[in-house]
Structure 1
Amino acid sequence: MNERLVVVVGYDDAELIEIAAVTTSLGMANKIGSPREPYRTAFVTPGARQITLPTGLALAGGDALERITGPFDTVVVAGGWGHRRAADDPLIVAHVRRIARESRRVASVCTGAAILAAAGLLDGHRVTTHWRWAGDLAARHPEVSVDPGPIYIRDGDLVTSAGVTSALDLSMALIQEDHGPELARRVARELVIYLQRPGNQAQMSMFTAAPPPGNDLVRRVVDHVGCHLGDDLSTTALAAVAGVSARHLTRLFLAELGQTPGQYVRRTRLEAAAHLVAGTSLTMPAVAARCGFGSAETLRQAFVGAYGVAPSHYRNTHAHSRPG
């Protein structure tokens, strides 16, 4: 029986959730799937030392990063608040570079991408990371194409994922790639998680991304948009709701949300449509009407522009119940 040796790299102030999401998912695949090529996971730290975590907990080191040798199936570098120190540590960077060269596939979770970038492993690649750190990664490594939008990006044998719980999405994608969709579905059910968000689904969402605007007027308009997606939501119409000029409303939106009213409306409609497409059995014309797209074709064009796929394909990649 051949094993798939997966090395997970940790360091001081790495994020425990990201480490555990990967190791637990792969371990569950072994437990319930009995694959012909089971995973063997090695957790490595510098010097095999116990590492401290941002929560105040400590995690015992397994193997020493400096001593582990390949070949490996996959190397996964976790992120965390300590990623900058790790990326500035010549020893960590050198050995991550070494073991990556001995691996079939290399991956990072969240800000673990900074360590891969410091090792020169992301040069010329399109990658993602946690949205909050995407600008920092791009500024430090201009030779890397950083896209803060997707949950994860596969570029050849390199896979980078977004923040924290996207480690689960990454793990499901790897399991599906290695052992097929049925085992990935079984693991997702066992872990009680959403099967697999498409990699190009946005990290940020109107449902979770930002706190309510501090400006009462902008907050009132935002609430109106969320409750009236099928209505006229032009900037002129929204300005009338707010009782100000369209120009003044635009200035307020830019100051509070960093986008124009029109941009906010388009994004909100699209994300609401994505939730209806994925979570209900409504027809595409019905989704379009509810979310203010006017027609199924307009909805399709918006999906292709934002996600790179048609709404029907987007629905097919979501395997959760649709109450209607």
Structure 2
Amino acid sequence: MTAKTAKLNSPTNDPRLVVFVVYPDVVLLDLVGPLQVFSHAPDSLTQRNGYECVVVSVDGGLIETNTVVSIPSEPISCLLNRSVHTLVVVGGDGAIPGMRDPKLGAAIKALAERAQRVCSVCSGALVLAATGLLDGRRAVTHWEDCRMLADEFPKVQVELDPIFVKDGRVWTSAGITAGIDMSLAIVSEDLGRDSALSMARSMVAQMVRSGGQSQYSPALGRQVSDGLGRFEALHAWMSENLGAELSVGSLASKAGMSARNFARVYSKVMGKTPAKAVEAMRIERAQDLLETSSKSLKQIATLSGFKEEDRMRCAFLRVLRVTPSEYRQNFRSA
């Protein structure tokens, strides 16, 4: 595999230099997803690519990934006389030894001092946190690594759910493909939403998602929690009857259980009460309608089972921290 890199010896190049830091055993998609975005994001003012990109490692050379493909990289020392616009620390299984590598940490910290923006993709947050750059900041990583990030670096305010978090000049993203979402958001901030949408269309991305969306879909979350499929049929029925009175009693009856036993078993298996599960499914349905339809908020509240617009608004604010109108504005599909 080849990588298009910056002209390292010319300090007068485009100032939007994006530097990707890699190390052994990175996740290939953690790198190439964001690299694809930044390498081809159009600048509407100059009519050319808005960024130049370079992939670096401590000593340069070929870096093994978690696939059969190795990545060519330049030594970080080549950038000593360059100002960095955006620094991106890539994630992977090598992040754990990487966060304990003082040479890598010192190199990243030196680059960060000259960077306008510092980012991590997936478990790259562990490497970034080891430099102290995440201390006192909100941050996210792959959901499987959130506990490690919190335990290893207690000064970091770890968020469990967002696909990416921006705290000042520091951005962190969740697992793997979330790095693409973060990169598109950065392009939108730097070059405008039209440029980000152009890249999303080019990459056949469904939409430009903001950091407020979840790392994984509620439906997938239910399937993971209910590994044995005990409530699979019930969930399918609930999804088709969100406008009904989905009380604990009615759900228990549908599941063939007493109300008391159902509430206990369901909460234990799914990790949330039946009422919270119903609310989550109604929010999920409302999100889909807000993204894909032109129906009024009142109609959507009815179709998703909230019945009243105010109840839907309160649920969105409590769970998603945005109003339905704000959600539609951010995530409406063309």
1:316 is aligned to: 329
2:218 is aligned to: 206
Tell me if the contact between 1:2 and 1:37 (Cα under 8 Å) persists in the aligned partners: no
Structure 2 CA distance, aligned partners of 1:234 and 1:222? 14
Specify the code of the residue in structure 1 equivalent to 2:236: D
Unaligned runs of 5+ in 1: none
Following TM superposition, by how much is the alpha carbon of 1:319 offset from its aligned partner in structure 2, in angstroms? Answer: 4.5
Higher mean displacement: 291-300 or 188-197: 188-197
- Residue identity (%): 33
Q: How does 1:225-244 map to 2 (within 5 A)?
A: 225-244=238-257
Following TM superposition, by how much is the alpha carbon of 1:210 offset from its aligned partner in structure 2, in angstroms? Answer: 4.7
Specify the code of the residue in structure 2 equivalent to 1:68: L
Compared with structure 1, are the counterparts of its residues 242 and 157 closer, same or farther at alpha carbon in structure 2 (3 Å cutoff)? same
Structure 1 CA distance, aligned partners of 2:329 and 2:101? 44
Tell me if the contact between 1:29 and 1:35 (Cα under 8 Å) persists in the aligned partners: no
In the superposition, the TM-score normalised over structure 1's length comes to 0.92
2:155 is the counterpart of 1:143: yes
1:68 to 72, 79, 89: 79
Tell me if the contact between 2:14 and 2:51 (Cα under 8 Å) persists in the aligned partners: no
Structure 2 CA distance, aligned partners of 1:265 and 1:83? 38
SS of equivalent residue, structure 1 residue 209:
helix
Specify the code of the residue in structure 2 equivalent to 1:252: V
Deviation per residue, 1:35-60 (Å, 9 max, x gap): 57831111011211311121232222
SS of equivalent residue, structure 2 residue 86:
strand
1:28 is aligned to: 40
2:166 is aligned to: 154
2:10 is aligned to: none
Q: Could you say what the CA RMSD is over the residues aligned between the two structures, in angstroms?
A: 2.0
Structure 2 CA distance, aligned partners of 1:270 and 1:56? 41
Compared with structure 1, are the counterparts of its residues 299 and 89 closer, same or farther at alpha carbon in structure 2 (3 Å cutoff)? same
Deviation per residue, 1:239-294 (Å, 9 max, x gap): 11112122221232233222221222211211221111111112111211121112
Structure 2 CA distance, aligned partners of 1:246 and 1:33? 63
2:68 to 56, 73, 76: 56
Structure 2 CA distance, aligned partners of 1:145 and 1:205? 23
1:273 is aligned to: 286
Structure 2 CA distance, aligned partners of 1:249 and 1:139? 35
2:297 is the counterpart of 1:284: yes
2:133 is the counterpart of 1:114: no
1:251 is aligned to: 264
Compared with structure 1, are the counterparts of its residues 183 and 96 closer, same or farther at alpha carbon in structure 2 (3 Å cutoff)? same
SS of equivalent residue, structure 1 residue 256:
helix
Structure 2 CA distance, aligned partners of 1:111 and 1:154? 16
Structure 2 CA distance, aligned partners of 1:261 and 1:220? 15
Following TM superposition, by how much is the alpha carbon of 1:206 offset from its aligned partner in structure 2, in angstroms? Answer: 2.0
Following TM superposition, by how much is the alpha carbon of 1:112 offset from its aligned partner in structure 2, in angstroms? Answer: 0.8
Deviation per residue, 1:140-194 (Å, 9 max, x gap): 1111111111111111101111111111111111111111112112222222213
Deviation per residue, 1:87-138 (Å, 9 max, x gap): 1111111111111111111011111111111111100001111112111211
Unaligned runs of 5+ in 2: 1-12
SS of equivalent residue, structure 1 residue 192:
coil
In the superposition, the TM-score normalised over structure 2's length comes to 0.90
Tell me if the contact between 1:218 and 1:252 (Cα under 8 Å) persists in the aligned partners: no
Specify the code of the residue in structure 2 equivalent to 1:58: S
Structure 2 CA distance, aligned partners of 1:68 and 1:217? 56
Structure 1 CA distance, aligned partners of 2:172 and 2:162? 10
1:191 is aligned to: 203
